Each structure stands twice: as C-alpha cells, then as structure tokens.
Amino acid sequence: ETSSAYGGGAPKLSNRYVAGFLWMDKLGLSARMGVDVVARQTLYHGSYALLDEYLNPLPDYWLSVIYKRQVGGKVLDIQLSTSTPTVRLYAHCLNPTSQHYKQG
C-alpha cells in the first residue's frame, strides 16, 4: 500500500501531473524487485486519490491504466553508463495482451 505522501497527501500536489513521476518510479522499482502487486492507498478521497470528488480520473489513474495495459511482466536488467544515484531507469517488455504486441 503506497502513495506519494503521508498523512492524506500534499494538497494540490499529490493529485497532479508532477506526482506521476513518483508513482511511475514506485511501479518500476517494485517490478524490478519482484513485487507482483502495488496497492494504491486510496481510490477516492484524500489529496492522493485516483479520482476527484466528481469521480473524474486524475493523472495517476491514467498512468496506472497505461502501465497495466502496456507494461509486461518481464523486467529488463539495464545499467546506466555512469553512476548517478539520483537517476533510476527501468525497461520492461511490452505486455503480450497489448494491442501493439508483435511476437518475435
């Protein structure tokens, strides 16, 4: 269970575009470490919800949908050419159920 900030999230920040970088990093790091399921703290209510008060999807909702549809279970072992502890890079094979998947 996770989200972008503790205590209900950061108002007007945790449910915005910028928080998506934290969410994608958590999904990528979890996959690299072999974690099969990452549960979001809340779907509705709170500053880090995936849906707003009118049930409209927020940016992290769409990132979750795209990740689920496009990212496959195979995580590639990649290395940065320089040692940069502030940068993490992830690579995955395409999800075989994606409409864009071509076997080969």
Find the distance separating the first CA and the last CA of the chain, reported in whole Å. Answer: 36
Domain of 54?
A: 19-94
Whether 24 maps to a domain, the answer reads yes
Whether 13 maps to a domain, the answer reads no
CB 52 within 8 A of CB 15: yes
Whole-number average pLDDT of the chain: 89
Whether the model clears a pTM of 0.75, i.e. scores above it, the answer is yes
Question: Nearest Cα to 5, choosing from 40, 52, 54?
Answer: 40
Whether 44 maps to a domain, the answer reads yes
Whether 5 maps to a domain, the answer reads no
Give 38-81 pLDDT, tens digit per residue. 998 889 988 888 999 999 999 999 999 999 999 999 999 998 88
pLDDT band at residue 35 using 50, 70 and 90 as cut-offs: very high
pLDDT at 23: 93
Domain count, the chain: 1
Looking at beta carbons, which pairs linking 53-57 to residues 24 or more positions away fall under 8 Å?
none
Judged by phi (left if over 0) then psi (alpha if -120 to 50, else beta), residue 45 lies in left
